[in-house]
């Protein structure tokens, strides 16, 4: 069996591309080719399908963007993004600006604070002349890794200090690559300008080293530039599924020496048996342990539609074609699509249009994958902040991936409460997670949770949710 689709009951009314999951349970959505952002708040029943859409403050103008590229309006298309450990949102670069057809690789970075709805410009990496559609990844200590779009430099943004430092140079250009955080304190990427080779960043050592070679080519070169690639997803078994723009896939085992770390995965084939090409494509780890993928037909470098959808099963190392979204949602090319894993375990699907769909997977998560709560306060007071501790608050994976830009990882804890009497659902904002790592196992971790002033008094069931998988509940009381 496989999952099913449905469209949201309430639509945004604007074209949406990148989506990020805020730590207060809202979805933060970028309006395609604009400086505007919107939020989707779930209903009182916890349902995103009939949630409420609101528009937030637009991104501020940037005088460094020339008028020939639509400046000073800062309206990025294809950019780096992340939710930080303190709950704020990091957005940097842009391959294009507004609807301008000329690549300008915007040199701009900013942070959005969901608590006050304001954007703040931040410095850009020293010496860079652009950021563009950069690869990025949040490290376990909260720093943001940002790859140079046209070189082998890798910058690290320190949110607490609002400044940048640099890693050792990468082995090749960062252009078009996908950075994936692993449990062994490394970041793995398949090299797009050096076919079949992979490398990893050793966070503790602060340097890049070889991660071996893939059995089959994963990168698809186009027009003489760096090869394109697909998503790369850390699986519950600790291995990495790397999806190639060629339709080939490969499995990386970090427990093995680099020379033997890679084995072949399945080639993505549509229902007609033709190879499907996930060039700049999304992927998402479902709570049942399978991976939802997408691909486009040939010829690959023309980026044609329609999109074909697949589920990969790690237990069998095979893929199957699954149904497409309703209302023509598969008619676009795969690079226009995005997947975001919700705390309900369903997947939001956007495709640069005003129609957003949800994918409902079958099956259930393994019990050992759930977060566990070891400490939670029994009594909560509105407008106060509390500490929660336990294990696996960050889930087993970043869960969401894309073939270079549009990073939408969800490896951080959300707190959901349900009123015992009214059954109304609320998400309480979390922040200051003790780690932004993945698959932390039995290591104790913690986060802070704030009770908004408008939460009604009463008894509630509280769970910690990571990557769509909820902990066992604990009972708490909210004071008048």
CB 315 within 8 A of CB 291: no
User: How would you classify residue 399: left for phi > 0, otherwise alpha for psi between -120 and 50, otherwise beta?
Assistant: left
Residue 105 lies in a domain: yes
Residue 311 lies in a domain: no
| Tokens describing residue 260 | 């033997």
CB 164 within 8 A of CB 388: no
| Tokens describing residue 212 | 């071996």
Q: What is the DSSP string of 234-274?
A: E-TTS-EEEEETTS-EEEE-TTS-GGG-EEE-PPPB-TTS-
Q: Which CATH number belongs to the domain containing residue 393 in this structure?
A: 2.70.50.70
pLDDT of residue 332: 92
CB 120 within 8 A of CB 111: yes
- Give the count of domains, the chain: 2
**pTM (two decimals):** 0.97
CB 455 within 8 A of CB 429: no
Handedness of CA 95, 100, 101, 103 (dihedral sign): negative
Residues 6+ away with beta carbon under 8 Å from 390: 371, 372, 373, 374, 375, 444, 445, 446, 464, 471
Residue 115 lies in a domain: yes
Of the residues 175, 202, 220, which one is the last residue of a structural domain? 175
Residue 471 lies in a domain: yes
pLDDT of residue 79: 97
Provide the residue range defining the domain that includes 470. 372-397+410-478
pLDDT of residue 286: 98
Q: How confident is the model at residue 103 (pLDDT cuts 50, 70, 90)?
A: confident
pLDDT above 90 for 330: no
pLDDT above 90 for 224: no
For all residues of the chain together, what is the average pLDDT? 96
Residue 98 lies in a domain: yes
**How far is it, in rounded angstroms, from Cα 243 to Cα 190?**
10
Phi/psi at 304 (5° precision): -80, 165
pLDDT of residue 101: 78
| Tokens describing residue 78 | 């294809």
CB 232 within 8 A of CB 394: no
Q: In what order do the strands lie in the sheet with 52-55?
A: 16-21, 27-31, 37-41, 52-55
pLDDT above 90 for 309: yes
Residue 233 lies in a domain: no
Question: Rounded mean pLDDT of 286-299?
Answer: 97
Handedness of CA 126, 92, 198, 196 (dihedral sign): negative
Residue 464 lies in a domain: yes
pLDDT above 90 for 350: yes
Residue 438 lies in a domain: yes
Question: Rounded mean pLDDT of 4-10?
Answer: 95
DSSP conformation class of 353: B
Of the residues 155, 175, 195, which one is the last residue of a structural domain? 175
Find residue 144's DSSP bridge partners: 138, 157
Least confident of 88-97, 115-124, 220-229, 462-471: 220-229
Question: Rounded mean pLDDT of 392-417?
Answer: 97
Q: Which residues of 214-225 are buried (b: 16+ CB within 10 A; e: fewer)?
A: beebbbbbbeee
Q: Which CATH number belongs to the domain containing residue 114 in this structure?
A: 2.120.10.80
Of the residues 175, 203, 238, which one is the last residue of a structural domain? 175
Which percentage of the chain shows pLDDT scores above 90? 94
CB 285 within 8 A of CB 466: no
Q: How confident is the model at residue 202 (pLDDT cuts 50, 70, 90)?
A: very high
């Amino acid at each position: 069996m496989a999952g099913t689709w449905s469209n949201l009951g309430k639509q945004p009314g604007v074209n949406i591309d990148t989506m990020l999951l805020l730590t207060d349970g809202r979805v933060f959505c970028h309006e395609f080719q604009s400086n505007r952002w919107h939020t989707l708040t779930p209903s009182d029943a916890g349902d995103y399908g009939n949630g409420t859409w609101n528009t937030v403050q637009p991104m501020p103008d940037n005088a460094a963007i020339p008028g020939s590229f639509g400046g000073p309006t800062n309206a990025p298309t294809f950019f780096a993004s992340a939710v930080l450990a303190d709950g704020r949102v990091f957005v940097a670069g842009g391959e294009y600006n507004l609807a301008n057809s000329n690549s300008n690789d915007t040199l701009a970075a900013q942070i959005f604070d969901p608590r006050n709805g304001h954007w703040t410009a931040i410095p850009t990496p020293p010496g860079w002349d652009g950021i563009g559609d950069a690869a990025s990844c949040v490290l376990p200590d909260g720093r943001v890794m940002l790859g140079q779009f046209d070189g082998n430099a890798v910058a690290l943004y320190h949110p607490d200090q609002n400044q940048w430092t640099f890693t050792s140079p990468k082995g090749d250009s960062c252009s078009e690559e996908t950075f994936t955080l692993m449990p062994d304190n490394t970041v793995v990427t398949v090299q797009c300008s050096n076919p079949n080779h992979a490398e990893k960043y050793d966070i503790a050592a602060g340097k890049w080293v070889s991660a071996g070679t893939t059995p089959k080519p994963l990168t698809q070169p186009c027009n003489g530039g760096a090869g394109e690639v697909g998503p790369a997803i850390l699986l519950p078994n600790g291995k990495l599924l790397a999806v190639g723009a060629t339709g080939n896939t490969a499995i990386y085992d970090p427990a093995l020496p680099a020379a033997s770390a890679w084995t072949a995965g399945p080639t993505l084939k549509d229902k007609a048996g033709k190879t499907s090409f996930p060039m700049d494509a999304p992927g998402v780890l479902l709570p049942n342990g399978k991976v939802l993928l997408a691909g486009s037909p040939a010829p690959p470098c023309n980026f044609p539609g329609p999109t074909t959808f697949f589920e990969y099963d790690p237990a069998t190392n095979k893929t199957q074609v699954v149904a497409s979204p309703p209302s023509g949602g598969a008619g676009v090319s795969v690079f226009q699509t995005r997947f975001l894993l919700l705390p309900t375990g369903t997947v939001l699907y956007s495709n640069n249009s005003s129609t957003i769909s949800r994918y409902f997977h079958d099956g259930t998560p393994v019990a050992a994958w759930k977060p566990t709560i070891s400490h939670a306060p029994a009594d909560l007071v509105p407008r106060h902040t509390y500490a929660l501790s336990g294990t696996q608050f960050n889930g087993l994976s970043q869960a969401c991936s894309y073939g270079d830009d549009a990073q939408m990882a969800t490896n951080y804890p959300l707190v959901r409460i349900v009123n015992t009497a009214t059954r109304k659902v609320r998400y309480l904002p979390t922040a200051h997670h003790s780690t932004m790592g993945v698959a932390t196992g039995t290591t104790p971790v913690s986060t802070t949770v704030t009770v908004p002033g408008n939460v009604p008094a009463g008894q509630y069931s509280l769970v910690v949710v990571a990557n769509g998988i909820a902990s066992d509940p604990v009972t708490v009381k909210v004071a008048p």
